[in-house]
Amino acid sequence: MAYVIGDNCVACGTCQSVCPVEAISEGDIYHIDPDTCISCGSCASVCPSDAITEG
């Protein structure tokens, strides 16, 4: 199951830099493309605001 980014995202970009498949795009809050995400959890493990959860 793909990971999702919640409203408590602070748009720091940390998750985007660790995603091995470049599934995360920038915006007011970041977004994970569920079709590209491989559910590795790299993004969730580095998120400083705990905004990323398995969706």
Angstrom distances, CA of residue 24 to CA of 9, 43, 48: 13, 9, 16
CATH number of 11's domain: 3.30.70.20
Spatial CA neighbour of 45 closest among 11, 3, 6, 8? 3
Total domains in the chain come to 1
Per-residue confidence (pLDDT) for residue 24, from 0 to 100: 98
- Predicted confidence (pLDDT) per residue in 33-52, tens digit: 999 999 999 999 999 999 99
Per-residue confidence (pLDDT) for residue 1, from 0 to 100: 86
**What residues make up the domain containing 25?**
3-54
Q: Is 49 helix (H, G, I), strand (E, B) or coil?
A: coil
- The pTM (predicted TM-score) of the whole model is 0.90
CB 25 within 8 A of CB 15: no
Give percent of the chain above pLDDT 70.
100
